[in-house]
Structure 1
Amino acid sequence: MPKIFKFSQFTQFSLRDLIVTAGPMTVLVIALCYVAYRLVDPSPPKQVTLATGQENGAYEEFGKKYAAALGKFGIKVTLVPSMGSQENLQRLMDPDSGVDIAFVQSGSIEQQAAKDAGLVSLGSLFTEPVWLFYRESKKITQLTQLKGLRVNVGPEGTGVPKLFKTILSVNGLEPSDVKIKQLENTPATVELLEGRIDALVFSSAPDALLIQMLLQTPGIKLFDFTQAEAYSRRFPFLTHVVLPRGIVDLGRDLPPKNYHLIAPTATLVAREDLHPALIDLFVQAAGTIHGGAGWFRKQGEFPNASYTEIPVIPEAEKFYKDGPPFLQRYMSFWLANFFERMWVVIVALGALILPLSRIVPPLYVWKVRSRVYRWYGQLRTVEQAIEDVPPGKRATVYPAQLKRLAEIEERVNQISIPLSFADELYRLRSHINLVRKRILWLCEAKQETQESKEEVKPASA
């Protein structure tokens, strides 16, 4: 057992010294990584709240598609119904509402007001034509003919009342010239079919069930905005779109002609503090959900960064221009997101670790050698103690220093040191032996001097 113990004192390297020298730097790097991770925050929350719109509306239908798309990545999307665009804006500007992102119609807010409220756009998703349905008996060909009619524009909180009042104003009509009703879409449709109102106004994608139904209902006509191009020139947030003949039902030739419509666009609007990873997921989902061809769009025309007065976030603009980020084309979303958000930190840590890696080996060597070199101080103390010793004290000092040397040697023999540094240990032991020989030589010289003195005394006597 003693032999094994002594042999175990000599190893290829000293783990203890390695930990002592590299440990603090390792802890520093780990701490920096943790702080950087917290600051960069690469992991998004697992839940997000999306404000949609009215029942049976396009916003509601698209909200379900977004929930399904983000659900594949483990993100739960809570859908919150609302009256529409204006109410969604109010919720976004209220931090206590719990709404993180919402559908908002273009033209609903001024650009400066959006900036002041800390709102950002993820881009335009699809056009929302203004659908003015009326009873066929009214024969409306000009908007001025709405004067005195009962027209439903939807409840406050939607984007339609504000938009419709703007349209009336450019046609020389005041809101008081029309008997405005503010029912929700579904009960308003019932009222129109029952004849209790004369017309109703929607602003929605054609995917909405009520739009599909009204386009095919006998006795209900769609107003043709023959001046649509003029509207789009007057109001930048409006576009001129055409509902092609036969698009609803080719067999029945519905509609029987091309209809010109004016259309704001639906946008995704979020708070500027929404986690960037969630923004990436919503933008990518938008590309999948709205990127195909439709009644009013060509393949790949939407989503885009146009038709919105709210500043579009740079990540969304880059996606619409160049497609998914490079890493996301070859890695899973979460792994790519981690590297994309942490690459600056990784480079910075690499720049820190490189010089540290050059410092650690010399520190390790110094730490190991210091266990040997510190005994040279003790050895030097012994040498100083035997220098210029008065003759009367030599008999006491020399033996004491020999004893001290023996203690030092005993302690040195217990030093644990890697084999690659064994020469340092053997050199120390040889130096100890050298000092011992010197003391012994001094002792012999003292003895010879003493004997010489004793011989001289009888001769002189």
Structure 2
Amino acid sequence: MSKILKFTQFSLRDLLATAGPTVLAIGLICAIAYWLVDPSPPSHVTISTGQENSAYEEFAKKYAAALAKHHIKTTLKPSLGSQENLQRLNDPKSGVDIAFVQSGSTEQSEAERKGLVSLGSLFTEPVWLFFRDSHDITQLTQLKGLKINAGPDGTGVPRLFKQILSVNGVEPTDLTLGALENTPATVELLEGRIDGLVFSSAPDAPLIQMLLQTPGIRLFDFTQAEAYTRRFPFLSHVILPRGIVDLGRDLPPKDYHLIAPTATLVAREDLHPALIDLFVQAAAGIHGGAGWFRKQGEFPTANYTEIPVAREAEKFYKNGPPILQRYLTYWLANFFDRMWVFVVALGALFLPLSRVIPPLYVWRIRSRVYRWYGQLRSVEQAIEDVPADKRDQVRTAQLRRLNEIEEKVNQISIPLSFAEGLYGLRSHINFVRERVQALARAE
């Protein structure tokens, strides 16, 4: 049975020996391409959020929940606000991958120099100036001499509020600017120990919702909002409609004009492209609906940001989510989306190789037979031009050599489809033997 098995329809060993180097080369190319393309995103990301009870904190929790569906763990790192988030992004040692940053917090040239990219604008953050109704404030010049909390420097609000005061001819020294965080500042306002406070936040923030419904607390109406947007391009003019807070109680009792920067999602340019895709898609689900200051589908957007928008984010805003992600899981779709160029190149490489390997396989099989013809030729040459006194000795030696060759040829393992060559070799061995014997008989 073992001898029968030597003759098969196909020689797996020869195929492996023939195609092995090619397969190894293709495997090496695949490994190098995988490393260069880096299709697998990290399974952990850190988001720098904002203060307690802020809109940044609330939205960060929604992003964490969205990423958890794709088995990506998210760490939320509280901060004072936009400016501290920006500082963390500028410091690679901070461990922050992505953060909420308010428009107008930096310059385009500075963002490019620091290697920052925007994933798009998410929502407007109106400037909310709340004050006690014991003050009748219609112009910002009336804030002189009052105690107004603008928040700590890390929030970005003090910088913005000082810019607003400056175009009204009010210097920061004309009033007392507090630096409390949002929650303690709200307590101070309700207790009457300060005259007002300034937020810049989405209306979703719990403190904004509470203050809009608190008796004795009024909201400043920026009646010159359009003029502010002309002076500061990163601001937009939004309107808080009458009754939007509570229609039954008619809160607020009139339309309020507000000025608003936008909140943007910002990352370092080395953030994995797959994570950028995932964050932008999550943003579309979280911020894409209608709200107090936005229409359906108005946000997220590549507009309203001075920070260069990431290429992957721009692609999403123009074309929507990748088509593969409509039918495959996120991880699988991301793999094929980033590896398709390599797959095409590999196909182009495989086609010519597929034409080379079969002939090599045939050559390897037939070479087992053909190499013995060199031995037969050497036998024929050995019996030619031999001195008469040595002819018997040489012919006897060559016949013995032919027997050894035949014995070794009989041990050759070869597929049945090539057996014709093997039997041809054996007949040729016999032919050479008969020739040697004929020469011996002739003498």
Normalised TM-score (structure 1): 0.95
Residue 415 (structure 2) pairs with residue 418 (structure 1): yes
Partner of 1:197: 194
Counterpart of 1:157 in 2: which secondary structure?
helix
Q: Among residues 13, 23, 41, which one is paired with 1:16 in the alignment?
A: 13
Q: CA deviation at 1:321?
A: 2.4
Q: 1:158: Cα distance to partner?
A: 0.6
SS at match of 2:134: helix
Q: How do 1:34-433 residues align onto structure 2 when only pairs under 5 Å count? A: 34-433=31-430
Q: Distance in 2 between matches of 1:31 and 1:317?
A: 34
- Equivalent AA in structure 2 for residue 442 of structure 1: L
The secondary structure found in structure 1 opposite 2:70 is coil
CA distance in 2, matches of 1:398, 1:340: 72
Cα shift readout 1:141-193 (whole Å, capped 9, x = no counterpart): 00111111111000010110110011011111111112111000011011111
Q: In structure 2, give the amino acid aligned to 1:114.
A: A
Structure 1: distance between partners of 2:410 and 2:319: 70
Structure 1, unmatched stretches of 5+, are 447-461
Instruction: Give the SS at the match of 1:345.
Output: helix
Q: Deviations over 1:417-441 (max 9, x none)?
A: 0001001101111111111111011
Please report how far the alpha carbon of residue 322 of structure 1 lies from its aligned counterpart in structure 2 after TM superposition.
2.1
Count of aligned pairs: 443
- Separation in 2 of the partners of 1:431 and 1:183? 103
Tell me by how many angstroms 1:16 deviates. 1.1
Secondary structure of the residue that 2:237 maps to in structure 1? strand
Q: What SS does the aligned partner of 1:393 have?
A: helix
Q: Work out the CA distance in 1 between the residues paired with 2:231 and 2:325.
A: 41
SS across alignment from 1:324: coil
RMSD: 0.8
Offset at 1:33? 0.9
Structure possessing the higher radius of gyration over alpha carbons? 1
Deviations 1:49-104 (A, max 9, x none): 00000000000000110000100110011000000000000001101100000000
- Secondary structure at 2:388 match in 1: coil
Q: CA deviation at 1:236?
A: 1.3
CA distance in 2, matches of 1:423, 1:102: 74
C-alpha separation between the residues in 1 aligned to 2:310 and 2:3? 68
Runs of 4+ in 1 over 3 A off after TM superposition: none
- SS of residue paired to 1:137: coil
Instruction: Supply the distance in 1 between the matched residues of 2:294 and 2:5 (Cα, whole angstroms).
Output: 79
Which of 435, 439, 444 is 2:441 aligned to? 444
In the alignment, which residue of structure 2 is the partner of 1:453? none
Q: Which amino acid aligns with 2:247?
A: L
Cα deviation per residue 1:320-374 (whole Å; 9 max; x = unaligned)?
2221111111211111101001111111111111111111001000100111111
Structure 1 residues 347-356 or 79-88, which shifts more? 347-356
Write the deviation string for residues 178-235 of structure 1: whole angstroms up to 9, x where unpaired.
2111000011011111111111000000000110011011111100001111111111
Which range moved further: 336-345 or 32-41? 32-41
Equivalent residue letter for 2:131: Y
The percentage of counterpart residues that share the same residue type is 77
Q: d(CA) in 2 for partners of 1:6 and 1:149?
A: 105
- Deviation, 1:42, is 1.0
- Once the 2 structures are TM-superposed, how far is the Cα of residue 387 of structure 1 from its aligned partner? 0.9
1:129 deviation in Å? Answer: 0.1
Distance 1:11 1:308 in 2: 71
Cα displacement (A) at 1:299: 0.5
Structure 2 distance, partners of 1:315, 1:95, is 22
**One-letter amino acid of the structure 2 residue matched with residue 7 of structure 1:** I
Distance in 2 (CA, whole Å) between partners of 1:122 and 1:395 is 94
* Alpha-carbon distance in 2 for matches of 1:116, 1:15: 59
1:127, distance to aligned residue in structure 2 (A): 0.2
Q: Which runs of 5+ in 2 are unaligned?
A: none
Write the letter of the residue equivalent to 1:124. Answer: S
* TM superposition shift of 1:5: 2.3
